[in-house]
Each structure stands twice: as structure tokens, then as C-alpha cells.
Amino acid sequence: MGEFELIARHFTRPALPDSAVVLGVGDDGALLQPTPGHQLVISTDMLVEGRHFFAGTDPEALGHKALAVNLSDLAAMGARPLGFTLALALPAADDAWLSAFARGLFALADAHACPLVGGDTTRGPLNLCVTVFGEVRPGQVLRRDAARAGDEIWLSGRTGEARLALALRRGEPWASGDVATVADRMDRPTPRLALGQALAATPGVHAALDVSDGLLGDLGHILKASGLGAEVDLASVPIAPALRALAPGHQRDCLLAGGDDYELLFTADATARDAVLAAGRIAGVAVTRIGRLVDTPGLRVVDEQGQAVPVRTQGFDHFGNAS
Ligand code: ADP
Ligand code: MG
């Protein structure tokens, strides 16, 4: 199978009705028509074998995840997806692998009416790079630098299960439980697109990001961009059943520094509480208040007595010491 046959067989599909795509796969570039008056949101994320996933990972899950982590970035901006491109380096043109990969990819793409509009295909060590295009109404976008002192900090869903799945697969000695109960949280993250769009349209919701490198590390990005500090109430951070059996220190590390969660962390004025809860209900995902933003820089995690709890606040950094 040659390069063009591979693209034709696995990555060329009929146009979706009512999509922003004027011209998709097959020309030198794609043509997209955003809704008049809207702004484009563009984001790229790459998955590298041996770095972001184990060699031999189920290709269907990889197809899902390669797109999911990108759609999660659109969700964190409050954007509606318009389409995506896919740059692939493949060690071989393995038809069965490609079919499964495409199945996972297009199942998620179709669920969000987000068509594949182009890409690049080359031989090389397995590497999956997706670029997503989305749109927002000007003024209805969730930026990291838009948080305000006094905002409450909210989290969608739960953190830590993907980190536990990783630990169980690696055989880290502290991890216990059945990997089957948490594997999907690592392999098939759910991009919170409906929630992001609902929040962007909610007055009083100010800043957001998606938690990919650990809750506290990512919260730190909002604090830095907005020039603020934060207090997180440890007892209010939701704990998944699979994490309950862990020793407190490891449980805390999973919750606060785990990574690969793809939940939304956002800040909102206290007057927006009911509207935020309503947005969560509409989107079908729990949203939990876990703390507040303060004028004084710094990040404090406190227990129910208001006492500071020692925690690792550093998120994952590919070129940092922890990697
Ligand atoms: P060019 O030589 O003009 O850069 P290519 O030969 O790389 O084009 O690709 C031919 C067409 O196939 C282009 O429209 C490109 O966007 C598309 N394409 C290539 N690889 C992929 C892929 N993995 N998924 C979707 N479209 C792809
Ligand atoms: Mg070209």
C-alpha cells in the first residue's frame, strides 16, 4: 500500500453536511468557512510512542486519544470544533493497525461533528500529531489570563485515575487495584466540549484550562497568567472510588499532580455558582468547587481546619527534572 492509497483508504471520507469544510482532504490545503464574526481557535498536540503511550497500545484507543487531547484544548477555550488535520509518522503501512486507529479516531470525530480536513503521512517512528480548528464568539472565550481575585475554582469530573492506571501498568509498588476499572480514564479521555462551550456562554465564568499535567501544576498556569494566588481545599477535591484504597500521600499525588486527566479547571465569580452547576447538568458532567483565588501570589492547599498541607505543586514537564 503506497502513501496515496493509504490516505485514500483510511483517511478520506465523505463530507459532513452543514460543516465548515469547503474543501477537505486532497488539495494542497483545506478550506474552512468559520461562522461570520467568530474567531478561530487553533491547537496542536503530539503523541509520541514511548513517551505518551506504551509500544503496542491498542490502535483504536490511540486514534481516540490523539483527537481527544486536542478537542480537550478546544473545550478549555470554550470553542466549537470545526475540523482537524492529522500528521502521522508510521513505521509501516499496517492495514489492520490503520483500520483500528481510524475507527477510534472517526468515532470521536463524528461524535463532535469534527471532520478530518488534511494531514501528512510519512514513514518513521510512531508519532501522531493532530491540529484542531475551532471557533468562538469574541468575548466568549476562556483564557488563562482572565481569572480574577475572589473567583471560585471549579473542577469537572475527577482527577487521578489516569495516573493510577499508569502506575498499575508500570507496576509501581504503591499502586493497588484492578487496572480495568481505570484503564479507560488513561486510554479514552472524554473531551469536555459541551461543558466548555456552556461555560464560555455563562457570565461570570472567567478563566479555564484543561488538566493534562496535574491539577496543581496546571492551576499554577492560570495563577501565573492572571497574576494571582490560590487556596485549594483538599477535602473538597472529588476522589474516585478506585483511589480510596491508596495511602493518603499517594492518593493526594494522584489527585493533585497525576496528569492525563483532561478535565476542565476553571474560575468563576461566586454569583455564577448556580449557572455553573446548570452548565454541568446540561453537559452531563459533575462540577465541583475546590477553592478560591486570592490577591497574594502562591498556591496553598489546606485541610478542613484551614491548615496548610504539604504537596507537590509541580506539573509534568518533559524537559524538567521529573521527566
Ligand atoms: P502535499 O504534497 O501537497 O503536501 P501530500 O501528498 O502530503 O500533499 O498529501 C496529499 C493530500 O492528502 C493532502 O490534501 C493532505 O492534506 C492529505 N493527507 C496526507 N496525509 C493525511 C492524513 N494522515 N490524514 C488526512 N489527510 C492526509
Ligand atoms: Mg502541500
User: Ligand 1 centroid vs 117 CA: distance in angstroms?
Assistant: 9
Q: What value does the mean pLDDT take over residues 223-236? A: 98
Percent pLDDT > 90 in the chain is: 93
Cα–Cα distance for residue pair 238/289, rounded to 1 Å: 10
Cα–Cα distance for residue pair 282/278, rounded to 1 Å: 6
Ligand nearest to the CA of 118: 1
Residue 323 has pLDDT above 60, yes or no: no
Cα–Cα distance for residue pair 252/175, rounded to 1 Å: 13
Q: What value does the mean pLDDT take over residues 144-159? A: 98
Ligand nearest to the CA of 27: 1
User: Ligand 2 centroid vs 76 CA: distance in angstroms?
Assistant: 30
> End-to-end distance of the chain based on CA atoms, in angstroms?
38
Ligand nearest to the CA of 101: 1
Residue 322 has pLDDT above 50, yes or no: no
If you take atom 20 of ligand 1, which residue's CA is the nearest one? Answer: 120
Mutate to test the pocket of ligand 1, among 90, 121, 130 (most ligand atoms within 8 A of CB): 121
Mutate to test the pocket of ligand 1, among 23, 25, 27, 90 (most ligand atoms within 8 A of CB): 25
- Nearby residues of 293 by Cβ (< 8 Å), 6 or more positions away: 147, 148, 149, 150, 151, 152, 153, 223, 226, 228, 229, 230, 267
Q: Given pLDDT bands bounded at 50, 70 and 90, which one contains residue 267? A: very high
**pTM of structure:** 0.95
- Indicate which atom in ligand 1 lies nearest the CA of residue 24: 14
pLDDT digits (tens, 9 = 90+) for 162-201: 999 999 999 999 999 999 999 999 999 999 999 999 999 9
> What is the per-residue pLDDT for 321?
53
